[in-house]
Amino acid sequence: MPDYVKVMRDGEVAIITLDNPPVNAMSHHLREPLFAALKQARDDDAVKAVVIACAGRTFVSGADITEFNTPKALAEPSLRDLCALLDAFPKPTVAAIHGTAFGGGLELALSCHYRVAVKSAQIGLPEVKLGLLPGAGGTARLPRLTGPVEALKIVSSGNPVAADKAAKLGIVDEVTDGDLAEAAIAFARGKIGTPLAPVSGRSDRIADVDMAAFDAASAEVARKARGLDAPVKCAEAVRNAITMDFDAALKRERELFIELVQGTQSKAQRHLFFAQREAAKVEGVGKEIEARPVKRVGVIGAGTMGGGIAMSFVNGGIPVTLLEMNREALDRGLATIAKNYEISVSRGSMTTEAKDQRLAAFKPTTDYADLAECDLIIEAVYEEMGVKKEVFGKLETVAKPGAILATNTSYLDVNEIAASTARPRDVVGLHFFSPANVMKLLEIVRGNRTAPDVLATALALARKIGKVPVVVGVCHGFVGNRMLSSRSAENEDLLMEGADPAQIDKVFTDFGWPMGPFAMGDLAGLDIGWRNRKALGKTAPIADALCEQGRFGQKTGKGFYIYEEGSRAPKTDPEVSKLIEETARAKGVNRRAISDEEITERTLYPLINEGARILEEGIAARASDIDIVWTNGYGFPIGKGGPMFYADTVGVKTIVERLDHWHGKTGKEVYKPAALLRKIAEADGSFSASKKTG
Ligand code: NAD
């Protein structure tokens, strides 16, 4: 059996080193020998102080997630047992932190009397990101070091804190530039014989609390949580650390943890955590496939998308050659990029030097020959097949052999674009989302001839620039936009049949979407969809009528709603209500009361249905990939886990019944249940259970 725990002595100091590669997770096979080693050190009179350190690249980085939902997670000694043992330790204990002390790792360190860290170390309690709270005393112990307001920030955001900041907050007692083990041993030795203040015994930082400040901070957490339970319970647990005695707060923390871990939201968030890892596994792109080196990226088109895509690469440390049709368009694009960075500087999230460095990483040009040095070239020009083919034709002559040629098209056939070149194996779709420098999702569109190492490169690059990649197949709109199209007509039909924009938008925001479709349309500009519909020969009677009146949304002060001067708050406009009624009358539609349930079913279930068709066709490899697309690119609430996970929570059988119902009533194709949905429903199954068989 490997030695997960080693004990060494340096004079009177015992050094307990944990070694559970790769990240020293708090697995049961680590907890058991650690518990024994601690007891031994406690009972050994020759030991006067203890250092807990880790081998490898990091301190304990958290719980062992593979133990989740298994008896091992609860097997004794639990992390709580370890923390309790440390809390009552009669000799000074020091956690020596390098890498990351996250979650259970930080809870272990917080149970020591002291913490010494290297400068590059980070601490944090990321449980909230899985819909949980720290369940081994983190919420009760941290406020005793930092005060409750700072603790609340750390617990409810889940964001990491660097060692220096942690020292300022009182979490870390010493930050060292030198050898960590030496520093920790010297620190421990210096504490031998001094009076001990175990973290749970300290109450100075929670005794005189500015309750009004804490209440305001908690209210802000609740507001930002937008329906997620975990951040709110995190705030409750931190409050308990101030208002209850230590043991009661600890007990209540456990109860809150159990409530969360058993709830649907945390299940959804954990599903998404694993789904993101799964999405990285792509058929035919094994570990043996090497990514091509990419040192410089070319971006063609400095419009809405090109500018954002270029910023994403520069932000990720890769210089960009940015090409436009003419100097004027180039200057416009560069000015927008500079403005975006200036906003970051004015918000304090970027220094002026960093901004200047980033701007220097753009090489603007109007000459295609300048793309010759690029290893990857992405076009983000107008959405027209003719224009795209012309650009790819030029690329073929200038791009170096082995350069990857990518398109950011939203809908067009990537195979057709690839076939127009002599190097279709080098062609791939890289579908970024707007604003591209902010949105995490990247649909990597695999053409039928895209080379495996092109996909491997795209996946590696996506991660390097902080995107969440999902490999999808070729079809109109790929995964996300194709599903979106399936429901877009339903919003307008519901208006005709009797709902109003505010009711529909409220159903969406109550569900957890950041915005409803009409408020969103007003924000994005209704003229975009109008132009698209005209080009495709499609109509949307109400939206078209609004646009004909020059109501393009927020930018004209009127759209589906009316906006007061300088305000972005949508207000119901009686004129729109009148227009909806008149349009319905002209079309011979008898308006009726529409229930919120009907709105949910008719806007969400077609989405799920289209998702099932996408799976049938193999456009997405797994249901969980679809969930990643929707939660990262379209604002689907993470607490609901994405459309396919949500379908499972409703029950696929129910979804099919309701689709049949609406199909019968409306005759619309979007409601006709996909064969895969029927198959799963007949087997009384679910998407998550059927993932292995596809
Ligand atoms: P845009 O009109 O804002 O920008 C297009 C830019 O390309 C313009 O600046 C134009 O001058 C330039 N351009 C056109 N032809 C060119 C050529 N031959 N050589 C060099 N530059 C040329 O458009 P956009 O919204 O950025 O969309 C670009 C692409 O991205 C489209 O394919 C679109 O479907 C796709 N896309 C858009 C979004 C979105 O939300 N806007 C999202 C995802 C993908």
pLDDT along the chain (694 residues), means of 10: 92 98 96 98 98 98 85 90 97 98 98 98 97 96 96 98 98 97 98 92 87 96 94 98 95 96 95 95 96 98 96 98 97 97 96 97 98 98 95 96 97 96 97 96 98 98 98 97 91 96 97 95 91 88 95 95 92 97 95 97 97 98 98 97 98 98 96 98 92 46
Distances (CA, A) of 649 to 278, 603, 640, 680: 20, 17, 9, 14
Contacts of 74 (CB under 8 A, 6+ apart): none
Lining ligand 1 with CB less than 6 A are 300-306, 323-325, 329, 380-383, 387, 391, 408-410, 432-434
- Measuring from atom 29 of ligand 1, which residue has the nearest CA? 380
- Identified catalytic residue from 107, 253, 492, 610: 107
User: Among this protein's residues, is 107 annotated catalytic?
Assistant: yes
Reduced to 3 states (helix: H, G, I; strand: E, B; else coil), residue 616 is helix
Cα 399 to averaged position of ligand 1 atoms, centre (Å): 20
Cα 326 to averaged position of ligand 1 atoms, centre (Å): 14
- Identified catalytic residue from 32, 67, 76, 127: 127
pLDDT of residue 47: 98
The dihedral sign for the CA sequence 653, 659, 665, 668: negative
Mutate to test the pocket of ligand 1, among 391, 410, 445, 634 (most ligand atoms within 8 A of CB): 410
Nearest to 666 by CA among 499, 494, 488: 494
Q: Are 445 and 478 in contact (CB under 8 A)?
A: yes
Mutate to test the pocket of ligand 1, among 299, 300, 305 (most ligand atoms within 8 A of CB): 305
Nearest to 237 by CA among 212, 221, 223: 221
Mutate to test the pocket of ligand 1, among 300, 304, 433 (most ligand atoms within 8 A of CB): 304
Index of the ligand 1 atom closest to the CA of residue 301: 7
pLDDT of residue 1: 62
DSSP string, 443-504: EEE--TT--HHHHHHHHHHHHHTT-EEEEE--STTTTHHHHHHHHHHHHHHHHHHT--HHHH
- Measuring from atom 31 of ligand 1, which residue has the nearest CA? 383
Cα 397 to averaged position of ligand 1 atoms, centre (Å): 22
- E-strand ranges in 349-393 read 362-365, 376-379
Residues in the chain: 694
Question: Angle at the Cα of 43 (from 37 to 45), degrees rounded to 5?
Answer: 120
Reduced to 3 states (helix: H, G, I; strand: E, B; else coil), residue 330 is helix
pLDDT of residue 619: 98
Contacts of 104 (CB under 8 A, 6+ apart): 26, 60, 62, 63, 79, 134, 136
- Measuring from atom 30 of ligand 1, which residue has the nearest CA? 380
Which domains does the chain possess? 5-262 (3.90.226.10), 297-472 (3.40.50.720), 499-586 (1.10.1040.50)
List the beta bridge partners of residue 100: 122
Index of the ligand 1 atom closest to the CA of residue 381: 7
Structure tokens belonging to residue 107: 């809870």
- Measuring from atom 40 of ligand 1, which residue has the nearest CA? 434
Cα 301 to averaged position of ligand 1 atoms, centre (Å): 6
**What is the rounded CA–CA span in Å between residue 104 and residue 116?**
17
Distances (CA, A) of 126 to 58, 131, 470: 16, 9, 24
pLDDT of residue 693: 39
- Measuring from atom 8 of ligand 1, which residue has the nearest CA? 303
φ, ψ dihedrals at 466, nearest 5°: 75, 25
Reduced to 3 states (helix: H, G, I; strand: E, B; else coil), residue 15 is strand
Cα 147 to averaged position of ligand 1 atoms, centre (Å): 50
User: Among this protein's residues, is 617 annotated catalytic?
Assistant: no
- Measuring from atom 10 of ligand 1, which residue has the nearest CA? 301
List the alpha helices (DSSP H) in 114-147. Answer: 138-146
List the beta bridge partners of residue 97: 117
Map tokens 């725990």 to a residue: 5
Q: Are 150 and 123 in contact (CB under 8 A)?
A: no
Phi-psi map region of 11: left, alpha, beta (phi>0 left; psi -120 to 50 alpha)? left
- Measuring from atom 4 of ligand 1, which residue has the nearest CA? 303
Cα 87 to averaged position of ligand 1 atoms, centre (Å): 60
pLDDT of residue 251: 97
Q: Are 378 and 408 in contact (CB under 8 A)?
A: yes
pLDDT tens string 167-183 = 999 999 999 999 999 99
- Measuring from atom 12 of ligand 1, which residue has the nearest CA? 301
Distances (CA, A) of 302 to 34, 234, 333, 344, 614: 57, 43, 5, 20, 32
Mutate to test the pocket of ligand 1, among 322, 332, 378, 382 (most ligand atoms within 8 A of CB): 382
Mutate to test the pocket of ligand 1, among 328, 336, 370, 381 (most ligand atoms within 8 A of CB): 381
Cα 312 to averaged position of ligand 1 atoms, centre (Å): 16
**What is the rounded CA–CA span in Å between residue 42 and residue 532?**
73
Q: How far, rounded to the nearest angstrom, does the alpha carbon of residue 127 sit from its chain's CA centroid?
A: 14
- E-strand ranges in 280-412 read 297-300, 320-323, 362-365, 376-379, 404-407
How many Cβ atoms sit within 10 Å of the Cβ of residue 15?
Answer: 21
Buried b (16+ CB within 10 A) or exposed e, 325-361: eeeebbeebbeebeebbeebeeeeebeeeebeebeeb
Q: Are 260 and 230 in contact (CB under 8 A)?
A: yes
**What is the rounded CA–CA span in Å between residue 553 and residue 544?**
12
Cα 433 to averaged position of ligand 1 atoms, centre (Å): 12
Cα 384 to averaged position of ligand 1 atoms, centre (Å): 10
List the alpha helices (DSSP H) in 512-590. Answer: 517-524, 526-536, 541-548, 574-586
Cis previous bond, 293, omega within 30: no
Radius of gyration in angstroms for the set of CA atoms belonging to the chain, rounded to a whole number:
28
**What is the rounded CA–CA span in Å between residue 432 and residue 691?**
26
List the beta bridge partners of residue 562: 558, 571
The dihedral sign for the CA sequence 198, 201, 206, 207: negative
Index of the ligand 1 atom closest to the CA of residue 390: 18
- Measuring from atom 25 of ligand 1, which residue has the nearest CA? 304
pLDDT of residue 691: 60
Q: Are 420 and 445 in contact (CB under 8 A)?
A: no
pLDDT of residue 321: 98
